[in-house]
């Protein structure tokens, strides 16, 4: 069967671990060139490079702090010089700094907003400028059920994820005529490093909340992302696709 993304250039933030890693592997599998971004964990990035050595030039992993306007501008300048444009952007890089609001420092608030929301804005802005040149593009923002449900200790995280949804809906309207679609995928509890720090009873309680009684896998999120990035999803924009076992 023909691979769906042959010749496509796909930027994935948070590509070195967890969900972003699974998304990157799925695009590579379908023939894309993946320009992966990571935040600073060189060990994880090198492990992925080693594991994907067969992909050759199809996988580039670059360090770039998505919350830093200068870094992101430089990243996209390099991308434009080498590739002229991109076809797909996956805004997946995300962090959490959980604390009850009353005890939350402004730094914990700001850092989460900066990475999860401002990072999405900065990456989307530069991606749109490139995509407009070819009047085609797919932007997929990885948000969370925390945006609509809210979870105790996650006011900063939930606000950042709800912000991504608002950004998605507005940007989708701005770019629809240019055939650039913008959508969200909201994974439920997915078994990645992101859940590190939760104790056994919290994990058991979260698992009980999921009707399927299990956490999801990165490849199950990737399948939804690849669908929204595909030619078949051309008429879907401004929407949210839940991948959460029925949460």
Catalytic center residues = 157
Min CB(167)–ligand NAP separation in Å? 14
Q: Which is nearer to ligand NAP, 47 or 132 (CB)?
A: 47
Q: Does residue 66 interact with ligand NAP by CB under 6 A?
A: yes
Tokens 């671990």 label which residue?
A: 17
Q: Which of 5, 8, 11, 14 binds ligand NAP (CB under 6 A)?
A: 14
Identity of the residue, 55 or 186, whose beta carbon is nearer to ligand NAP in the bound complex: 186
Pair 184, 143: CB distance under 8 Å = yes
Residue 184 parent element (H or E): strand 180-187
21 closest CA partner among 30, 12, 11: 12
- Rounded distance between C-alpha atoms, residue 137 and residue 32, angstroms: 14
Half-sphere exposure of 213 (CA within 13 A, CB side): 0
Residue 119 has φ and ψ, to the nearest 5°, of -60, -45
Instruction: Select 38 or 109, whichever has its Cβ closest to ligand NAP.
Output: 38
Compose the 99-138 pattern: x for residues touching ligand NAP by CB under 6 A, - for all others.
----------------x-----------------------
Please tell me whether residue 183 binds ligand NAP under the rule CB under 6 A.
Answer: no
Q: Which of 224, 116, 105 is nearest to 168 (CA)?
A: 116
Work out how close the CB of 89 gets to ligand NAP at its nearest, in angstroms, rounded to a whole number.
Answer: 13
Among 10, 11, 19, 139, binds ligand NAP (CB under 6 A): 19
Q: Does 76 bind ligand NAP (CB under 6 A)?
A: no
Of 49-57, 73-81, 91-99, 170-178, the window that binds ligand NAP (rule: CB under 6 A) is 91-99
Q: Based on CB atoms, which residue is closest to ligand NAP, 175 or 192?
A: 192
Six-digit token pair at 35? 């320009």
Question: Rg for the chain (alpha carbons), in Å?
Answer: 17
Q: Provide the b/e sequence for 3-35 (b: ≥16 CB within 10 Å).
A: ebbeebbbbbbbbbbbbbbbbbbbbbebebbbb
40 binds ligand NAP (CB under 6 A): yes
- Exactly one of 73, 105, 193, 205 binds ligand NAP (CB under 6 A); which one? 193
Query: Which is closer to ligand NAP, CB of 20 or CB of 163?
Result: 20
Q: What is the sign of the dihedral through the CA atoms of 65, 70, 72 and 74?
A: negative
DSSP-based three-state secondary structure for 165? helix
**Interacting residues with ligand NAP (CB under 6 A):** 13-14, 16-20, 37-41, 44, 65-67, 92-95, 115, 142, 144, 187, 189-190, 192-195
């Amino acid at each position: 069967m023909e691979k769906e993304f042959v010749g496509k250039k796909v930027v994935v933030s948070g590509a070195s671990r967890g969900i972003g890693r699974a998304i990157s592997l799925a695009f590579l599998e379908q023939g894309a060139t993946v320009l992966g971004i990571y935040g600073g964990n060189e060990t994880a990035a090198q492990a992925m490079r080693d594991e994907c050595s067969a992909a050759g030039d199809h996988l580039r992993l670059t360090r770039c702090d998505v919350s830093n306007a200068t870094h992101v501008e430089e990243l996209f300048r390099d991308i434009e010089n080498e590739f002229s444009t991109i076809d797909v952007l996956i805004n997946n890089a995300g962090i959490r700094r959980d604390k009850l609001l009353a005890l939350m420092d402004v730094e914990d608030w700001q850092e989460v907003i900066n990475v999860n929301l401002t990072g999405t804005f900065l990456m989307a802005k530069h991606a749109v400028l490139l995509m407009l040149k070819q009047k085609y593009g797919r932007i997929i923002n990885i948000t969370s059920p925390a945006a609509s449900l809210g979870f105790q200790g996650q006011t900063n995280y939930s606000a950042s994820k709800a912000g991504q949804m608002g950004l998605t809906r507005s940007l989708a309207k701005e770019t629809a005529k240019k055939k650039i679609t913008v959508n969200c995928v909201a994974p439920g509890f997915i078994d990645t490093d992101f859940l590190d720090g939760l104790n056994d009873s919290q994990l058991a309680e979260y698992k009980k909340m999921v009707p399927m009684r299990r956490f999801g896998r990165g490849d199950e999120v990737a399948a939804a992302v690849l669908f929204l990035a595909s030619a078949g999803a051309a008429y879907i924009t401004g929407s949210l696709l839940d991948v959460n076992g029925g949460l």
